[in-house]
Amino acid sequence: MIIDGKIVAQELRSKLKLQVQELKAKHNITPGLTVVLVGDDPASHVYVRNKIKQTTEVGMISNEIRLAEKTTEEELIELLHGLNNDDDVHGILVQLPLPKHINEQAIITSIIPEKDVDGFHAMNSGHLLNGDAEALVPCTPQGCVILAKKHLGNDLSGKHAVIVGRSNIVGKPVSLLFLQENCTVTVAHSRSTDLPALCRQADILVAAVGRPLMIKADWVKPGATVIDVGINHIEDEQGKDKLVGDVDFAEVSKVASGITPVPGGVGPMTIACLLKNTLRAAKQHL
Ligand code: NAD
């Protein structure tokens, strides 16, 4: 069965839209998201356009600030301080990657944790580690858990989740989320030995690696749920650009009981969860 991220994301956005209307009606507050884009990275421009469009569609206020490639770290931090103090801005997102002369960590730390809707600030990572309710949780990992639950139901207790990848933005936070769901969690990475054998133990297999089609059918336990986070560009037989995940969808879909496609799986959930975080930030501000 294909776990369709587009449908699940649409369902989530519809719920959020109603909650935004309710917040407006009861408290006269409209959640506001400001996205800051530095430089001319074409992929970032596409991501930001999608974020803005979907923010507006659920009834939130969306604001985009575009800055030149040559913007200094100090200038960006000064702008963020202004946004931190602006009561109409509930969520701030600085689109990554940033130009090389800007230290990403310094920028992430300059956003106050209450408005850090990407969930990358060390304070939010700490809250997530502690299982605190106030954590703003990174969006892609949230999307992975929602998709796993869509297929398996809300109770994931006792399931063995194997996460391949240990990055700060996906692998580590998604491991903590599955642990909170009472899963047994294994985190595999580039130095793990016998990765296929580790993956075969998984009831829920999350691939967040960035290696096209790495996970093959004989790495997957029959009936497992497979969540593919990878976004990789390869050339198809005609030499055209093709988007694929970390999982060899054609063969793994014959073994798994549920699998997310690429595109149309985890990707759409990431933006929907960004909107969820923005609504949360607005409610917490209230
Ligand atoms: P990253 O490069 O920061 O981390 C990759 C991880 O994979 C590392 O922890 C590394 O140890 C592990 N790894 C690398 N080679 C390996 C191997 N051969 N065997 C086992 N583990 C290996 O990447 P990331 O930022 O976590 O992103 C991972 C993938 O997810 C990328 O393709 C990225 O584009 C995609 N992504 C998608 C979304 C989305 O919204 N769908 C969001 C974020 C990232």
Per the domain annotation, does 48 fall within a domain?
A: yes
Do 157 and 77 lie in a common domain?
no
Per the domain annotation, does 212 fall within a domain?
A: yes
Position 88 scores a pLDDT of 96
With a cut of 90, say whether residue 13 has pLDDT above it: yes
233 CB within 6 A, ligand 1:
no
Do 102 and 149 lie in a common domain?
no
List the domain range (segments joined by +) for residue 192: 139-267
Nearest CA among 178, 142, 173 for reference residue 266: 142
143 CB within 6 A, ligand 1:
no
With a cut of 90, say whether residue 43 has pLDDT above it: no
Give the mean pLDDT of 74-80: 98
Which atom belonging to ligand 1 lies closest to the Cα atom of 208?
28
Say how many Å lie between the CA of residue 216 and the centre of ligand 1: 17
Say how many Å lie between the CA of residue 19 and the centre of ligand 1: 33
Position 230 scores a pLDDT of 98
Give the mean pLDDT of 99-111: 97
Positions marked catalytic: 51, 95, 118
170 CB within 6 A, ligand 1:
yes
Give the mean pLDDT of 145-168: 98
Per the domain annotation, does 13 fall within a domain?
A: no
Position 134 scores a pLDDT of 84
Which distant-in-sequence residues (6+ apart) come within 8 Å of 233 by Cβ?
241, 242, 243
Do 156 and 233 lie in a common domain?
yes
Position 51 scores a pLDDT of 92
Say how many Å lie between the CA of residue 53 and the centre of ligand 1: 27
Q: What percent of the chain has pLDDT over 70?
A: 100
Give the mean pLDDT of 57-86: 98
Give the mean pLDDT of 235-252: 96
Position 86 scores a pLDDT of 98
The CATH number covering residue 261 comes to 3.40.50.720
Give the mean pLDDT of 245-259: 98
User: Is residue 114 a contact partner of residue 89, using CB atoms and an 8 Å limit?
Assistant: no
Per the domain annotation, does 10 fall within a domain?
A: no
The alpha helices in the chain, defined as continuous H runs, are 5-27, 42-57, 73-84, 104-110, 122-130, 139-152, 171-180, 195-200, 249-252, 266-285
Q: What percent of the chain has pLDDT over 90?
A: 95
> Directed axis angle between helix 5-27 and helix 42-57, to 10°?
50
Position 281 scores a pLDDT of 98
Query: 41, 50, 120, 167: which to mutate for ligand 1, most atoms within 8 A of CB?
Result: 167
Per the domain annotation, does 281 fall within a domain?
A: no
Do 84 and 157 lie in a common domain?
no
Which atom belonging to ligand 1 lies closest to the Cα atom of 232?
32
Q: What is the pTM of this model?
A: 0.97
Position 283 scores a pLDDT of 96
pLDDT digits (tens, 9 = 90+) for 184-221: 999 999 999 999 999 999 999 999 999 999 999 999 99
Per the domain annotation, does 147 fall within a domain?
A: yes
138 CB within 6 A, ligand 1:
no
Do 56 and 100 lie in a common domain?
yes
Query: 142, 187, 231: which to mutate for ligand 1, most atoms within 8 A of CB?
Result: 231
Position 207 scores a pLDDT of 98
Do 158 and 249 lie in a common domain?
yes
Looking at this protein, which amino acid is placed at residue 136?
Answer: L
With a cut of 90, say whether residue 23 has pLDDT above it: yes
DSSP secondary structure code for residue 98 in this structure: P
Which atom belonging to ligand 1 lies closest to the Cα atom of 262?
41
* Average of per-residue pLDDT values in the chain: 97
Distance separating alpha carbons of residues 34 and 63, to the nearest angstrom: 5
Closest Cα to atom 15, ligand 1: which residue?
190
Do 149 and 263 lie in a common domain?
yes
Per the domain annotation, does 97 fall within a domain?
A: yes
Say how many Å lie between the CA of residue 282 and the centre of ligand 1: 31
167 CB within 6 A, ligand 1:
yes
Say how many Å lie between the CA of residue 254 and the centre of ligand 1: 24
Say how many Å lie between the CA of residue 97 and the centre of ligand 1: 15
Total domains in the chain come to 2
Q: pLDDT band at 169, cuts 50/70/90?
A: very high
Closest Cα to atom 3, ligand 1: which residue?
167
With a cut of 90, say whether residue 133 has pLDDT above it: no
